[in-house]
Structure 1
Amino acid sequence: MGKSNPGKTAAVVVAALAFGWAAIELAFKPWLEKTRKAMDKSDPAVDPDDVDDAAAKTEPPPEVIAAAEKAVAEAETAANPEEPVAAAE
């Protein structure tokens, strides 16, 4: 065997690391893609445990409330046709 020089050793080490990296990427590709997509969606500045559910605290617009009340009244009228239901105003 010949003498090993530092340049050849460094080249072999870099090639081995590149081959190992490629092997890991290919072996775990589906899992890594899912993980990377999840990380792209996340915001590191926001803690999910501290986020309040703002959608639950806000009221729907008045026209949505009126439409819902009208739909409930129509459903009750359809269920009990002999009893007229007064719509709440």
Structure 2
Amino acid sequence: MENPSSPLETLRQLKEMLDAGALTPTEFEALKQRLVFTDPNASQASTAAEPPAPKPAAPVAAPVAPPVTPAPPASAPLLHLQR
């Protein structure tokens, strides 16, 4: 949709894309609102048919293992309990 001749023509193209399954109803409504409420004199770098890029998911932190308690040295004396 480069250089649409009018907002009406752009809307027709968006509707065709919706009918063809290239746009979801939510995307169509968002693009239609942007088309209707955008200043026609403002220049836009992107075309009206481009949906916003999805945001990358936040990385998941690895689980933290509990601290390891060191075993007593083998040379340590053993305590015996007497009854």
Per the normalisation by structure 2, the TM-score is: 0.25
Scaled by the length of structure 1, the TM-score of the pair is 0.24
Q: Normalized per residue, which structure has more helix?
A: 1
Where relative contact order (Cα < 8 A, 6+ residues apart) is larger, the structure is: 2
